[in-house]
């Protein structure tokens, strides 16, 4: 396929984003046509998803033996199955968040065009980031994602919480990307190249100290996006202050993108390099899981609790990468652990977006997201209560939910490589997480709330909750296609060599 066709998903989403923003300017406030803007964003997401499916079968025939920039049809962007998989996650996130945002946005801000336009552009930046194979492109796409995220976090600009969250997010993010960039510049100096595959070929073992320094500096940038401990301090504030649909987006989109780029840099640029990354990655994974889960225990606000819970979930995902790095150096193409991360991420996306959809519904109705206000939900909406139960089971990792399959694969990969302590930490952390998830469920099922009025759920919201519930169960009960999908997507990356 030629370069233009390989880029159709990116082109489609860009056209829709700018169409929405332009139409928003063209139609004045009284114009009734503005109501279609959210649906245009939805259509844009669906069209992009279709384009990804359209390209999917063709990337097999695409010549992946040329790993450096010179041999690629699309310079700087690898359109392989791994990037398509992450693009699919990004677009699904945009679609589901866009659907669940409708009522919230209408209630809180008159700027609908900017909201949906910028969200599609944030989706575009993730799509670029996950296929970047070049330090310049990685930096550019990462900053693109950051800048759109800052704007979206501060979107309720008259609300002090939202705009302050944006400021904190911005200050942490700008510093983190500056530090990451310094690491990039050192790698460029050591190898004379910004292309990941060329960097892999030109690193010499005498430069070990430099590479470790560069990776530590780079981890600041990627870790910031994924919210790994100790680069996580921004996330609870940003999650609590941001408009709730954007919190949902931040908890999946940037995490997936950061993980994808971390995987690509580790696997493509530093694979056979003579440094053992396992201790660093394991340590970060253990800290991320433990800090996320332990602090989540004390939270009384749903959004803040979910922020810490998603920090912990990112820690579980990192266990997979640690497992990959522990494979013997001879097995460079071995990608066990990476496919586990992808499966985990797929499960996590549906589950977490489902939880947030419920949080948005309740916030629309009650105006707060305090856990105490979830009391007696079972009487107000049995459907949502049961859905919440399923999502929380999945986040803990109890069968028959997708989270169980994800954790099984991630911890299984760790055990396969003999990282028993790491796997044990993971299981132990899952047990801790039961406490706070079930704290919410106790409120929902056994407490008596002050308000007994039934919860009204709109069509769009109902669709989101249904899709996420079905997928959360489906990935567990009929898992083979999804496991295959994750394995396929990871394998193509190996074919890069």
Asked if residue 101 lies in contact with residue 245, where contact means CB atoms within 8 angstroms, the answer is: yes
Q: Which of 27, 39, 188, 287 binds another protein (CB under 8 A)?
A: 188
**Beta carbon of residue 255, minimum distance to another protein (angstroms, whole number):** 20
408 is an interface residue for another protein by CB under 8 A: no
C-beta closer to another protein: residue 175 or 470: 175
Is 80 a binding residue for another protein by CB under 8 A? The answer is: no
Q: How far is the CB of 69 from another protein (least distance, A)?
A: 7
CB closer to another protein out of 140 and 483: 140
Could you say which residues in the range 212-231 bind another protein, by CB under 8 A? 213
Q: Take residue 2 and report the two structure tokens written for it.
A: 């030629």
Residue from 16, 41, 42, 237 binding another protein (CB under 8 A): 237
Q: What does residue 271 show for φ and ψ, rounded to 5 degrees?
A: -75, -60
Could you tell me what percentage of the chain is helix, strand and coil, using 3-state DSSP and rounding each to the nearest 5? 80, 0, 20
Interface segment toward another protein; rule CB under 8 A; list 134-142, 431-439, 446-454, 470-478:
134-142
Relative orientation angle of helices 112-131 and 81-108, to the nearest 10 degrees = 160
What are 195's strand-pairing partners? 134
Quote the least distance from Cβ 105 to another protein, whole Å: 12
Binders of another protein in range 385-404 (CB under 8 A): none
Among 14, 48, 235, 278, binds another protein (CB under 8 A): 14
Q: Does 186 bind another protein (CB under 8 A)?
A: yes
Question: Within 102-131, which residues bind another protein (CB under 8 A)?
Answer: 107-111, 114, 117-118, 121, 124-125, 128
Which span (184-192, 319-327, 328-336, 488-496) binds another protein, by CB under 8 A? 184-192
CB burial readout 467-476, b (16+ within 10 A) else e: bbbebbbebb
> Which distant-in-sequence residues (6+ apart) come within 8 Å of 454 by Cβ?
380, 381
Taking the least distance from each CB to another protein, the nearer of 166 and 465 is 166
- Which of 1, 36, 210, 434 is close enough to bind another protein by CB under 8 A? 210
Signed CA dihedral, 57, 63, 64, 69: sign only: negative
141 touches another protein (CB under 8 A): yes
Segment 245-264, which members bind another protein (CB under 8 A)?
none
| Residues 432 to 471 in contact with another protein, rule: CB under 8 A | none
List 370's β-bridge partners, or say none: 301
Q: Which of residues 149-178 bind another protein (CB under 8 A)?
A: 150-151, 154, 156-161, 163-168, 170-171, 174-175, 178
* Beta carbon nearer to another protein, 114 or 373: 114
Stretch that binds another protein, among 35-43, 101-109, 402-410, 483-491 (CB under 8 A): 101-109
Give the Cα separation of 477 and 473 in Å (integer).
6
Minimal distance, residue 65 CB to another protein, in Å: 19
Q: Which is nearer to another protein, 90 or 405 (CB)?
A: 90
The reply to whether omega before 362 is within 30° of 0 (cis) is no
Concatenate the DSSP letters of all residues of 21-38 into one string: HHHHHHS-TT-GGGGGHH
Query: How far, CA to CA in Å, does 148 sit from each of 121, 253, 262, 357, 358?
Result: 7, 12, 20, 21, 25
Report the nearest approach of another protein to the CB of residue 83 (Å).
Answer: 14
CB neighbour burial string for 413-431, b if at least 16 within 10 angstroms, e if fewer: bbeebebeebbebbeebbe
- Which letter does DSSP use for residue 497 in this model? -
* Interface with another protein (CB under 8 A), residue from 50, 147, 473, 494: 147
Closest-CA residue to 479 (of 388, 344, 351): 344
Contacts for 197 with CB less than 8 Å, ≥ 6 apart: 67, 68, 69, 133, 268, 269, 496
Please pick, from the candidates 83, 133, 193, 402, the single residue that binds another protein as defined by CB under 8 A: 193
Residue 328 C-beta: closest distance to another protein, Å: 27
Query: In the set 53, 60, 189, 399, which binds another protein (CB under 8 A)?
Result: 189
Q: Which 337-376 residues touch another protein, going by CB under 8 A?
A: none
Q: Which tokens sit at 360?
A: 């948005």
Q: Which range of residues in 40-48, 74-82, 365-373, 448-456 is near another protein by CB under 8 A?
A: 74-82
- Report the distance separating Cα 417 and Cα 12, nearest Å: 42
Q: Residue 345 and residue 351: Cα distance in Å, rounded?
A: 10
Select the residue interacting with another protein from 207, 235, 282, 468 (CB under 8 A): 207
- Residue 283's CB is within 10 A of a number of other CB atoms, namely 14
Does 136 contact another protein by CB under 8 A?
yes
User: Are 378 and 385 contacting, i.e. CB atoms less than 8 angstroms apart?
Assistant: yes
Least distance from another protein to the Cβ atom of residue 2, Å:
14
Which of 6, 40, 76, 338 lies at the binding interface for another protein (CB under 8 A)?
76
């Amino acid at each position: 396929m030629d370069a233009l066709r390989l880029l159709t998903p990116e082109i489609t989403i860009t056209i829709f984003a700018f169409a929405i923003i332009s139409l928003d300017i063209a139609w004045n406030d009284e114009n009734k046509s503005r109501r279609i803007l959210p649906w245009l964003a939805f259509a844009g997401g669906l069209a992009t998803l279709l384009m990804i499916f359209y390209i999917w079968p063709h990337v097999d025939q695409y010549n992946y033996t040329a790993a450096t920039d010179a041999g690629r049809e699309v310079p700087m962007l690898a359109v392989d199955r791994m990037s398509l998989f992450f693009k699919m996650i990004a677009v699904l996130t945009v679609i589901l968040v866009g659907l669940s945002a409708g009522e919230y946005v209408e209630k809180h801000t008159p700027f609908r065009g900017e909201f949906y336009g910028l969200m599609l552009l944030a989706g575009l930046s993730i799509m670029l980031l996950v296929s970047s194979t070049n330090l310049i492109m990685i930096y550019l796409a990462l900053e693109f994602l950051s800048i759109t995220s800052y704007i979206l976090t501060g979107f309720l600009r008259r609300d002090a919480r939202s705009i302050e969250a944006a400021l904190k997010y911005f200050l942490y993010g700008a510093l983190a990307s500056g530090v990451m960039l310094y690491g990039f510049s050192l790698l460029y100096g050591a190898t004379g190249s910004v292309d990941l595959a060329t960097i892999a070929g030109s690193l010499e073992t005498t430069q070990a100290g430099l590479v470790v320094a560069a990776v530590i500096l780079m981890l600041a940038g990627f870790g910031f996006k994924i919210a790994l401990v100790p680069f996580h301090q921004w996330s609870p504030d940003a999650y609590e202050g941001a408009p709730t649909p954007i919190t949902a987006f931040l908890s999946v989109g940037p995490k997936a993108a950061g993980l994808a780029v971390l995987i690509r840099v580790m696997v493509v640029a530093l694979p056979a390099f003579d440094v053992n990354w396992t201790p660093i990655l394991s340590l970060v994974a253990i800290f991320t899981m433990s800090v996320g889960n332990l602090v989540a225990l004390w939270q009384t606000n749903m959004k803040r609790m979910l922020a810490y819970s998603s920090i912990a979930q990112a820690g579980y995902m990192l266990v997979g990468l640690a497992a990959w790095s522990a494979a013997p150096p001879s097995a460079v193409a071995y990608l066990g652990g990476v496919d586990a991360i992808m499966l985990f991420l797929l499960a996590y996306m549906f589950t977490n977006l489902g939880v947030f959809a419920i949080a948005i519904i309740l916030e629309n109705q009650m105006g707060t997201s305090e856990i105490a206000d979830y009391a007696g939900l079972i009487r107000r909406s049995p459907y949502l209560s049961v859905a919440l139960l399923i999502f929380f089971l999945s986040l803990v990792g109890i069968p028959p939910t997708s989270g169980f399959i994800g954790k099984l694969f991630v911890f299984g990969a760790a055990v396969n490589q003999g990282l028993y302590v790491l796997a044990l930490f993971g299981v132990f952390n899952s047990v801790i997480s039961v406490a706070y998830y079930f704290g919410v469920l106790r409120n929902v099922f056994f407490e008596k709330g002050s308000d007994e009025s039934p919860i009204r759920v709109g069509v769009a919201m109902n669709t989101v909750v249904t899709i996420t519930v079905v997928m959360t169960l489906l990935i567990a009960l009929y898992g083979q296609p999804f496991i295959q999908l994750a394995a396929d997507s990871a394998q193509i990356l190996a074919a890069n060599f």
